[in-house]
Amino acid sequence: MRNHNWSKALLAASLCTCAAAAVGQAMGGSAPLPATAGPVQGTDALADALTCRISSERLPGLMEEFREERANAFAQTYRQYTTPIMDLYQLDAPVQAWGNRSDAIVIAEQRVMMAVRGSLEDITKQLEQSLADSSESPLSGALDDQHALVIFKADQRGLEGMVLLGCEYRIPALSLLDDPRDAWRKPPALMAPAPAPAPAPKP
């Protein structure tokens, strides 16, 4: 399975070429971009999340933001997967990110992705064109060591013929699925047995 990650350096290479090069060529090395101020918050939390514009401070409450902005879509999952653990949500209206549109959103432990129908090659071309077009409105500030663009072919039931595209948040111990409303996912913690009382001293 092909699984592509774009770091800040790889994004710089794509922007500098300003052309939709083959993904394998885009994975070549290049000089890193200058330091930036980090992700910039927009007005749509889901669009922000898909385009790597969510700061680490916003991540713990991200699902709650989704539920506030799209109550119908995120009130409950449309489908759940166990290998790997992912939740599929169905939007009332499509969201746009990276040159693609979709009404199917997949949330994994560290990823927010949209499921786009089409071939990996076609979706990648649209992505690369979006990266090239963004040279006038750079997205470079959205990608750093903790934010990576991901794209790969889905193979889960119900996602056949679709490509998952979005952002990976590389934050230690982060799980976007660790939400109070989803506490039922986890088995209850087993309590450690109480230590045996010490024997009474002999007279």
Task: Give 119's pLDDT tier (boundaries 50, 70, 90).
Answer: very high
Would 104 be classed as within a structural domain? yes
Would 197 be classed as within a structural domain? no
Would 35 be classed as within a structural domain? yes
Would 191 be classed as within a structural domain? no
Reply yes or no on whether the pLDDT at 3 is more than 60.
no
CA distances from 9 to 13, 23, 27, 42, 59 (A): 6, 14, 10, 23, 23
Domain count, the chain: 1
Reply yes or no on whether the pLDDT at 173 is more than 80.
yes
Would 193 be classed as within a structural domain? no
Would 192 be classed as within a structural domain? no
Cα–Cα distance, 103 to 85 (Å, whole number): 20
| Full DSSP string of 84-101 | TEEEEEEEEEEEEETTEE
pLDDT 10s digits, 82-106: 988 999 999 999 999 999 999 999 9
- Torsion over CA: 16, 19, 23, 25 (sign): negative
Q: By residue range, what is the domain housing residue 61?
A: 3-182
Both tokens of 116, joined, read: 């786009």
Would 151 be classed as within a structural domain? yes
CA 194 from centroid of its chain's CA atoms: 42
In the three-class reduction of DSSP (H, G, I as helix; E, B as strand; rest coil), residue 202 is classed as coil
Would 200 be classed as within a structural domain? no
Helical H runs in 45-193?
Answer: 45-50, 62-69, 71-74, 120-133
pLDDT 10s digits, 127-169: 888 888 876 544 544 577 889 999 999 999 999 999 999 999 9
Task: Give 35's pLDDT tier (boundaries 50, 70, 90).
Answer: very low
pTM exceeds 0.85? no
